[in-house]
């Protein structure tokens, strides 16, 4: 009964805390340390969360890429040397500078596509921020609710302790039954079990293949840095003329890296993408560590509950069942009390089985997170 009442109280507190947080925009909380209020948690999350920071860097990279999208390619410096025989050695040397101009609106289309990518990146950044805000508000509500539920549980635990002491005094004076003492002890044990579960839930609320991507981003960043160096094109071939011997032609072209803004923008974009990939890796590691901490907290709680069930509640339920059955056999008490005690014994066994299943579930979760067997 105490377990059910405490859970109902925790549920009511959770709803109240959620309602309080939703309406907290109109009321400012008192100043406190970072993380003491939902507003401070939201500010910390916006500044420190790896996923949000990675999304912001993606937006920065897309904006830098948009600046370079409409730029012209570098001009090309070409030196062409021709040599052939026509009654004597004859040679020619040509030096030209050429520039490619995209036609049919290609530059404008590239620029528009890049701007669309900037808008999409901003949308992803906003979505990441909204998702983080929701997670923080829910976690804060859960933490607040379970903190308050623990306070209620301690009050109930104190009352159960006083009830046990009172029944023991009455039983010692010959004014009470042994079944009453056992029931009071079981009630106190229930509050201890519930406290262990609530503490695990509160801890869980408080904790609340990227290497390849990083390698790719690093390679792209280095490639963007080397875009400042000119490219060389070498060519050659025969020179065929009518009524003249066949000669040959040799050509060397050297690109001129004069589009400084475009190259600087591309370099900034690739650097931002590298930083974003690293933030995603950090975010993945943080997610794994948080999930591992939650699983460990739940495993510890399940083991604590199992220990309490085996060492206290099972013997108490067994003693209560035996006492009520013996009392009924001797003509004392009633059949309903004996049947209720037997059902309580079976319920305790089933709860122990559920707790053992919870332990195995959390162990499997931990093994999945660490990538190996325990």
pLDDT 10s digits, 136-149? 666 666 666 666 76
Domain assignment present for residue 360? The answer is: yes
In the predicted structure, residue 348 carries a pLDDT above the cut 70: yes
Q: Mean pLDDT across the chain, nearest whole number?
A: 64
Q: What was the pLDDT predicted at 17? A: 38
CA 66/CA 266 separation, integer angstroms: 9
Using a pLDDT cut of 70, give the percent of the chain over it.
26
Is residue 188 a contact partner of residue 168, using CB atoms and an 8 Å limit?
no
User: Per-residue confidence at 83, pLDDT binned at 50, 70, 90?
Assistant: low
Q: Buried b / exposed e across 130-151, counting CB within 10 Å, b at 16+? A: eebbeebbebbbbbbbbbbbbe
Q: How far is CA 310 from CA 2, 6, 259, 351, in A?
A: 19, 22, 76, 11
Order of all β-strands in the sheet with 247-255:
89-98, 76-85, 247-255, 232-239
Q: Which domain holds residue 14?
A: 2-23+34-70+109-227+260-370
* pLDDT (average), residues 200-224: 48
| Between 97 and 319, the higher pLDDT residue | 319
Domain assignment present for residue 235? The answer is: no
Q: How far is CA 318 from CA 1, 160, 168, 328, 337, in A?
A: 18, 20, 19, 15, 14
In the predicted structure, residue 172 carries a pLDDT above the cut 70: no
The residues, ordered by sequence, that sit 6+ positions from 135 with a Cβ below 8 Å of its Cβ are: 208
- Residue 298: phi and psi, rounded to 5, are -70, -35
| Between 8 and 290, the higher pLDDT residue | 290
Q: Which CATH number characterizes residue 172's domain?
A: 1.20.1600
- Residue 239: phi and psi, rounded to 5, are -110, 110
In the predicted structure, residue 3 carries a pLDDT above the cut 50: no
Beta strand 247-255 pairing with 76-85 = antiparallel
Domain assignment present for residue 253? The answer is: no
Nearest to 303 by CA among 154, 202, 200: 200
pLDDT for 216-242, tens place per residue? Answer: 455 555 655 555 566 666 666 666 555
Q: What was the pLDDT predicted at 259? A: 63
Domain assignment present for residue 239? The answer is: no
Domain assignment present for residue 244? The answer is: no
Domain assignment present for residue 241? The answer is: no
Element housing 229 (H / E)? none
Straight-line distance from the first to the last Cα atom of the chain, in angstroms, rounded to the nearest whole number: 37
Among the residue ranges 69-83, 175-189, 227-241, the one predicted with the least confidence is 175-189
Is residue 10 a contact partner of residue 198, using CB atoms and an 8 Å limit?
yes
The residues, ordered by sequence, that sit 6+ positions from 71 with a Cβ below 8 Å of its Cβ are: 259, 261, 262
How many domains does the chain contain in total? Answer: 1
Domain assignment present for residue 80? The answer is: no
pLDDT for 148-162, tens place per residue? Answer: 767 766 766 676 666
pLDDT for 4-62, tens place per residue? Answer: 444 444 444 333 333 333 334 333 334 444 455 667 667 766 666 677 777 777 777 77
DSSP designation for 96: E
CA 300/CA 21 separation, integer angstroms: 30
Neighbours of 268 (CB within 10 A): 19
User: Per-residue confidence at 289, pLDDT binned at 50, 70, 90?
Assistant: confident
Domain assignment present for residue 208? The answer is: yes
Highest mean pLDDT among 154-163, 203-212, 292-301: 292-301
């Amino acid at each position: 009964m105490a377990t059910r009442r405490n859970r109902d109280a925790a549920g009511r507190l959770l709803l109240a805390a959620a309602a309080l947080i939703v309406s907290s925009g109109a009321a400012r909380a008192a100043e406190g340390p970072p993380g003491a209020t939902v507003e401070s948690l939201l500010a910390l999350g916006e500044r420190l969360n790896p996923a949000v920071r990675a999304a912001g860097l993606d937006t920065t990279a897309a904006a830098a890429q948009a600046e370079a999208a409409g730029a012209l390619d570098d001009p090309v410096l070409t030196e062409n040397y021709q040599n052939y025989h026509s009654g004597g050695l004859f040679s020619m040397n040509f030096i030209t500078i050429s520039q490619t101009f995209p036609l049919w609106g290609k530059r404008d289309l590239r620029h528009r596509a890049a701007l669309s990518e900037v808008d999409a990146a901003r949308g992803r950044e906003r979505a990441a921020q909204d998702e983080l805000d929701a997670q923080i508000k829910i976690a804060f509500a859960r933490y607040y609710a379970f903190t308050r539920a623990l306070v209620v549980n301690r009050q109930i635990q104190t009352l159960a302790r006083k009830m046990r002491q009172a029944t023991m005094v009455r039983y010692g004076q010959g004014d009470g039954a042994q079944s009453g003492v056992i029931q009071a002890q079981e009630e106190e044990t229930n509050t201890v079990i519930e406290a262990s579960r609530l503490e695990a839930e509160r801890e869980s609320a408080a904790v609340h293949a990227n290497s390849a991507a990083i390698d790719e981003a690093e390679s792209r960043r280095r490639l963007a840095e080397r875009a400042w160096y000119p490219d060389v094109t070498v060519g050659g071939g025969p020179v065929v003329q009518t009524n003249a011997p066949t000669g040959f032609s040799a050509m060397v072209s050297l690109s001129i890296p004069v589009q400084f803004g475009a190259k600087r923008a591309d370099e900034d974009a690739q650097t931002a993408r590298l930083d974003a990939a690293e933030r995603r890796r950090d975010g993945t590691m943080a997610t794994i560590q948080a999930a591992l901490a939650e699983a460990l907290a739940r495993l510890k709680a399940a083991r604590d509950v199992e220990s309490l069930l085996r060492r206290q509640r099972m013997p108490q339920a067994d003693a209560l069942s035996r006492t009520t059955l013996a009392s009924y056999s001797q003509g004392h008490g009633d059949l309903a009390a004996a049947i209720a005690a037997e059902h309580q014994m079976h319920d305790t066994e089933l709860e122990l089985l559920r707790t053992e299943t919870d332990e195995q579930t959390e162990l499997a979760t931990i093994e999945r997170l660490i990538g190996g067997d325990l």
